[in-house]
Amino acid sequence: MTKSLKEFLDKKVDEYNQPSFIKDDPVCIPHLFRDKADQEIAGLFAAIFAWGNRTTIINKSKELMQLMDMRPHQFCLHHSDKDLQRLLGFKHRTFNATDLLYFIEFFKYHYSSSPSLETAFTRHGRSVEEMLSGFHHYFFSLEDAPPRTKKHISTPERGSTCKRLNMFLRWMVRNDGKGVDLGIWKNISPSQLICPIDLHVARVARKFKLLKRKQTDWEAALELTSQLRKMDTADPVKYDFALFTLGIAERY
């Protein structure tokens, strides 16, 4: 790894890790709220919806929050059957009302005994791999979990990159004072995070020789993060700002 590559990527991180980044990125959805639980629920929905056109992702996330009266935590805990009826027409790509109703059921179950979604991850181990695998099992542990919904919560056990969940963890964990990531979780260290990777990020990473693996899967996410840790041990995932925007905005 060359010094010039680190300098280039650090410059790109500084360029994009700014409040101006928020409005055009799904991270704007949890930023609509001040309450921690609202930020968590809004953030998870926005992350799960985050594939395809970013404007559509943001609009659909806002639509859902409005259906929940802009109080997602209260809605999940205290909704009536009549409240749920207004959600039945909601759909985003392959995410439909069946999936949505189960997500709400899970949130009600979890928040009835815990003030934060953080414990839904940290109870399963110290590594992010253990947390993501454990979260998947926990999320679908309720009696009537629909099989179709499982495709929306990925797991390393199936080789998935877990891109959207890793992005969600970045939002919740990183707290660098720049204003983009919320940094509201304190029991996971930024040094533990795994870089969100999709085809665009993988393409840029291979171009910079940060990734040799040909498949874009969980092992690729680990390999890329390992290389990023050589540039910043404490906060490797900050380079997501550089790799993502080079791949999407600049089509590097």
Q: Are the C-beta atoms of residues 226 and 187 closer than 8 Å to each other?
A: no
Q: Which of 24, 27, 28, 31 is nearest to 53 (CA)?
A: 24
Q: What is the reported pLDDT for 241?
A: 97
* Tokens representing residue 83 in the block: 């409240």
Nearest CA-CA partner of 166 in 186, 205, 196, 139: 196
pLDDT of 47: 98
Q: What are the C-alpha distances in Å from 100 to residues 26, 88, 95, 252?
A: 18, 9, 7, 36
Q: What is the pLDDT of residue 5?
A: 95
**Nearest of 192, 153, 152, 199 to residue 172 by alpha carbon:** 192
Q: What is the pLDDT of residue 30?
A: 98
Q: Is the pTM of this model over 0.85?
A: yes
**Per-residue pLDDT at 86:** 95
What pLDDT score was predicted for residue 248?
A: 77
Show the low-confidence residues of the chain (pLDDT under 70).
Answer: 1, 249-252
Give the domain ranges of the chain.
3-248
Residue with tokens 């990531």: 181
pLDDT of res. 249: 65
pLDDT reported for residue 151: 96
How is 21-85 classified by DSSP, letter by letter? GGGGSGGGTGGG--SHHHHHHHHHHHHHT-SS-HHHHHHHHHHHHHHTTT-HHHHHHH--HHHHH
Whether 129 contacts 225, CB under 8 Å:
no
3-state secondary structure string, 145-162?
A: CCHHHHHHCCCHHHCCCC
